[in-house]
Structure 1
Amino acid sequence: MKPDLPPVISNWFAQKGWAPREHQLAVLRSWQADASALLIAPTGAGKTLAGFLPTLVDLAEGNFEGLHTLYISPLKALAVDVQRNLNAPLLEMNLPIRAETRTGDTPASKRARQRTNPPHVLLTTPEQLCLLISHPHANLLFGSLKRIVLDELHALVTSKRGELLSLALARVARLAPDMKITALSATVALPDLLRDWIAQPLPGRETQLLVTEGGAPPVLEILETEQRLPWAGHSANYAHHELYEVIKQHKTTLLFVNTRSQAEMLFQGLWAVNDDLLPIALHHGSLSVEQRRKVETAMVAGSLKAVVCTSTLDLGIDWGDVDLVVQVGAPKGSSRMLQRIGRANHRLDEPSKAMLVPSNRFEVLECEAALEAVAERQQDSEDPVDGGYDVLAQHVLGMACAAPFASDALFDEVRLAWPFRDLPRQQFDRVVEFVATGGYALQAYERYARLKRTEDGKWRIANAQVAQQYRLNIGTIVEEPMVKVRLIRGRLTKKGQAERPLGAGGRVLGEMEEYFFGTLLPGDTFMFGGEILAFQGMRDNEAYVTRAQATDPKIPSYMGGKFPLSTYLAARVRRIMDDPSSWDKLPNQVSDWLRLQRDVSVLPGRDSLLVETFPRGTHNYMVCYPFEGRLAHQTLGMLLTRRLERARARPLGFVASEYALGIWGLGDLSALIRTGRLSLDELFSEDMLGEDLEDWLDESALMKRTFRNCAIIAGLIERRHPGKEKTGRQITMSSDLIYDVLYQHEPDHILIQATRRDAARGLLDIGRLGDMLRRIREHIVHQPLERISPLAVPIMLDIGREPIYGEARESAMADAADELMREALSGPGPASRSRGAT
Structure 2
Amino acid sequence: MDPAAPPPEIAAWFAGRGWRLRRHQAEMLAAARAGRHALLVADTGAGKTLAGFLPTLADFCPSAGSLPAEGLHTLYVSPLKALAHDVQRNLIAPIEEIGLALRVETRSGDTPSDRKARQRARPPHVLLTTPESLSLLLSYPESAALFATLKRVVIDEVHAFATGKRGDLLALSLARLQTFAPNLQRVALSATLADPDAFRGWLAPWGEIDAVELVLGEPGAPPVVSVLLPEQQRVPWGGHAAAWAVPQLLAQIRAHRTTLVFTNTRFLAEYIFQLLWEHNEGNLPIGIHHGSLSKEARRKVEGAMARGELRALVCTASLDLGVDWGDIDLVVQMGAPKGSSRLLQRIGRANHRLDCPSKALLVPGNRFEYLEAMAAVEAVEAGTRDGEDFRPGSLDVLAQHVMACACAGRFSETELHAEIRASTPYAWVDEPAWARVLEFVATGGYALRAYDRFRRIVRDPDGFWRLAHPEQAHRHRLNAGIIVDSEMLDVRFKNGRSLGKVEEGFGATLSPGDTFRFAGLDLEVEAVRDLELIVRAAKRAGAIPSYMGARMPISAHLADRVRALIVDRAGWGRFPDDVREWLEVQDWRSHLPGPGELLAESFPWRSREYTVFYTFEGWNANQSLGMLLTRRMADAGLSPLGFVANDYALALWGLKPIPDPGALLSPEILAHEWTEWVQNSHLLRRAFREVAVIGGLVERQHPGQRKTGRQVTFSTDLIYDVLQKYEPDHLLIEAAWADARTRLTDLGRVADVLARAARQLVHVRLDRVSPMAVPVLVMIGRESLPAGAADDDLLVEAESLAAEAMRAEERAAEGD
**Same fold, judged at TM 0.5 (above):** yes
Aligned to 2:323: 317
User: Compared with structure 1, are the counterparts of its residues 802 and 520 closer, same or farther at alpha carbon in structure 2 (3 Å cutoff)?
Assistant: farther
Aligned to 2:809: none
Aligned to 1:815: 792
User: Compared with structure 1, are the counterparts of its residues 823 and 668 closer, same or farther at alpha carbon in structure 2 (3 Å cutoff)?
Assistant: farther
Aligned to 2:254: 248
Aligned to 2:626: 637
User: Distance between the aligned counterparts of 2:775 and 2:154, measured in 1?
Assistant: 46
Aligned to 2:718: 737
Q: Which amino acid aligns with 1:622?
A: T
Q: How does 1:576-591 map to 2 (within 5 A)?
A: 576-591=565-580
User: Distance between the aligned counterparts of 1:129 and 1:575, measured in 2?
Assistant: 45
Q: How does 1:105-116 map to 2 (within 5 A)?
A: 105-116=110-121
User: Compared with structure 1, are the counterparts of its residues 828 and 594 closer, same or farther at alpha carbon in structure 2 (3 Å cutoff)?
Assistant: closer
User: Distance between the aligned counterparts of 1:823 and 1:649, measured in 2?
Assistant: 30
Correspondence 1:138 to 2:143: yes
Correspondence 1:78 to 2:83: yes
Aligned to 1:161: 166
User: Distance between the aligned counterparts of 1:109 and 1:320, measured in 2?
Assistant: 34
Structure 1 unaligned runs (5+)?
489-504, 674-678, 830-838
User: Compared with structure 1, are the counterparts of its residues 464 and 92 closer, same or farther at alpha carbon in structure 2 (3 Å cutoff)?
Assistant: same
Spell out, residue by residue over 1:698-719, the C-alpha distance to the aligned partner (whole angstroms, 9 max, x if none): 2111110111001000001111
Aligned to 1:834: none
Q: 1:123: how far off?
A: 0.6
Q: 1:321: how far off?
A: 0.4
Q: 1:316: how far off?
A: 1.0
Aligned to 1:11: 12
User: Distance between the aligned counterparts of 2:278 and 2:341, measured in 1?
Assistant: 33
Kindly indicate whether the alpha-carbon contact (under 8 Å) linking 1:72 and 1:124 is maintained by their aligned counterparts in 2: yes
User: Distance between the aligned counterparts of 2:156 and 2:657, measured in 1?
Assistant: 56
Correspondence 1:554 to 2:560: no
Correspondence 1:178 to 2:183: yes
Aligned to 1:369: 375
Correspondence 1:358 to 2:364: yes
Q: Which amino acid aligns with 1:126?
A: P
Aligned to 2:51: 50
User: Distance between the aligned counterparts of 2:51 and 2:799, measured in 1?
Assistant: 60
Aligned counterpart in structure 2 of residue 765 of structure 1, from 746, 760, 763? 746
1:801 partner SS = helix
Spell out, residue by residue over 1:131-181, the C-alpha distance to the aligned partner (whole angstroms, 9 max, x if none): 111101101100100011011111111110000010011000001111101
Aligned to 2:812: none
Aligned to 1:401: 407
Correspondence 1:191 to 2:203: no
Kindly indicate whether the alpha-carbon contact (under 8 Å) linking 1:173 and 1:201 is maintained by their aligned counterparts in 2: no
Aligned to 2:264: 258
Kindly indicate whether the alpha-carbon contact (under 8 Å) linking 1:401 and 1:461 is maintained by their aligned counterparts in 2: yes
Q: TM-score normalized by structure 1?
A: 0.93
Q: 1:448: how far off?
A: 0.5
User: Compared with structure 1, are the counterparts of its residues 654 and 63 closer, same or farther at alpha carbon in structure 2 (3 Å cutoff)?
Assistant: closer
Aligned to 1:752: 733
Q: 1:103: how far off?
A: 1.0
Spell out, residue by residue over 1:270-293, the C-alpha distance to the aligned partner (whole angstroms, 9 max, x if none): 001111111100000000111111
Aligned to 1:545: 535
User: Compared with structure 1, are the counterparts of its residues 229 and 526 closer, same or farther at alpha carbon in structure 2 (3 Å cutoff)?
Assistant: farther
User: Distance between the aligned counterparts of 1:774 and 1:698, measured in 2?
Assistant: 24
Spell out, residue by residue over 1:588-624, the C-alpha distance to the aligned partner (whole angstroms, 9 max, x if none): 2211111121222222122111111112233211111
Kindly indicate whether the alpha-carbon contact (under 8 Å) linking 2:687 and 2:736 is maintained by their aligned counterparts in 1: yes
Q: 1:827: how far off?
A: 8.3
Q: 1:683: how far off?
A: 1.5
Q: 1:7: how far off?
A: 2.5
User: Distance between the aligned counterparts of 2:739 and 2:209, measured in 1?
Assistant: 33
User: Distance between the aligned counterparts of 2:700 and 2:326, measured in 1?
Assistant: 39
Aligned to 2:810: none
User: Compared with structure 1, are the counterparts of its residues 575 and 205 closer, same or farther at alpha carbon in structure 2 (3 Å cutoff)?
Assistant: closer
User: Compared with structure 1, are the counterparts of its residues 228 and 535 closer, same or farther at alpha carbon in structure 2 (3 Å cutoff)?
Assistant: farther
CA RMSD of aligned residues (A): 1.8
Q: Which moved more, 1:435-444 or 1:584-593?
A: 584-593
Aligned to 2:419: 413
Kindly indicate whether the alpha-carbon contact (under 8 Å) linking 1:37 and 1:207 is maintained by their aligned counterparts in 2: yes
Kindly indicate whether the alpha-carbon contact (under 8 Å) linking 1:66 and 1:141 is maintained by their aligned counterparts in 2: yes
User: Distance between the aligned counterparts of 2:527 and 2:792, measured in 1?
Assistant: 36
Q: 1:692: how far off?
A: 0.8
Q: Which moved more, 1:815-824 or 1:761-770?
A: 815-824
Figure out how many residues of one structure are paired with residues of the other and give that number: 800
User: Distance between the aligned counterparts of 1:582 and 1:373, measured in 2?
Assistant: 16
Q: Which amino acid aligns with 1:351?
A: P
Kindly indicate whether the alpha-carbon contact (under 8 Å) linking 1:719 and 1:725 is maintained by their aligned counterparts in 2: yes
Q: Which amino acid aligns with 1:262?
A: L
1:778 partner SS = helix
Spell out, residue by residue over 1:775-832, the C-alpha distance to the aligned partner (whole angstroms, 9 max, x if none): 331311111111211111122111121589xxx96x7676344234256569899xxx
Spell out, residue by residue over 1:200-233, the C-alpha distance to the aligned partner (whole angstroms, 9 max, x if none): 2695982211112411000000002223332222
Aligned counterpart in structure 1 of residue 606 of structure 2, from 609, 617, 628? 617
Q: Which amino acid aligns with 1:7?
A: P
Aligned counterpart in structure 2 of residue 661 of structure 1, from 650, 660, 663? 650
1:576 partner SS = helix
Aligned to 2:781: 800
Aligned to 1:787: 768
Q: How does 1:372-387 map to 2 (within 5 A)?
A: 372-387=378-393
User: Distance between the aligned counterparts of 1:352 and 1:615, measured in 2?
Assistant: 48
User: Distance between the aligned counterparts of 1:525 and 1:686, measured in 2?
Assistant: 49
Q: Which amino acid aligns with 1:441?
A: A
User: Distance between the aligned counterparts of 1:250 and 1:455, measured in 2?
Assistant: 70
Q: 1:681: how far off?
A: 2.7
Correspondence 1:592 to 2:581: yes
User: Distance between the aligned counterparts of 1:614 and 1:426, measured in 2?
Assistant: 55
Kindly indicate whether the alpha-carbon contact (under 8 Å) linking 1:43 and 1:348 is maintained by their aligned counterparts in 2: yes
Aligned counterpart in structure 2 of residue 327 of structure 1, from 320, 323, 333? 333
Q: Which amino acid aligns with 1:373?
A: A
Kindly indicate whether the alpha-carbon contact (under 8 Å) linking 2:206 and 2:427 is maintained by their aligned counterparts in 1: no
Spell out, residue by residue over 1:393-423, the C-alpha distance to the aligned partner (whole angstroms, 9 max, x if none): 1001111111111211111010111111122
Q: TM-score normalized by structure 2?
A: 0.96
User: Distance between the aligned counterparts of 1:82 and 1:176, measured in 2?
Assistant: 25
Kindly indicate whether the alpha-carbon contact (under 8 Å) linking 2:200 and 2:209 is maintained by their aligned counterparts in 1: no
Identity among equivalent positions (%) equals 52
Spell out, residue by residue over 1:747-780, the C-alpha distance to the aligned partner (whole angstroms, 9 max, x if none): 1000010000000001100011112221331311
User: Distance between the aligned counterparts of 1:357 and 1:812, measured in 2?
Assistant: 26
Q: 1:469: how far off?
A: 1.1
User: Compared with structure 1, are the counterparts of its residues 514 and 242 closer, same or farther at alpha carbon in structure 2 (3 Å cutoff)?
Assistant: same
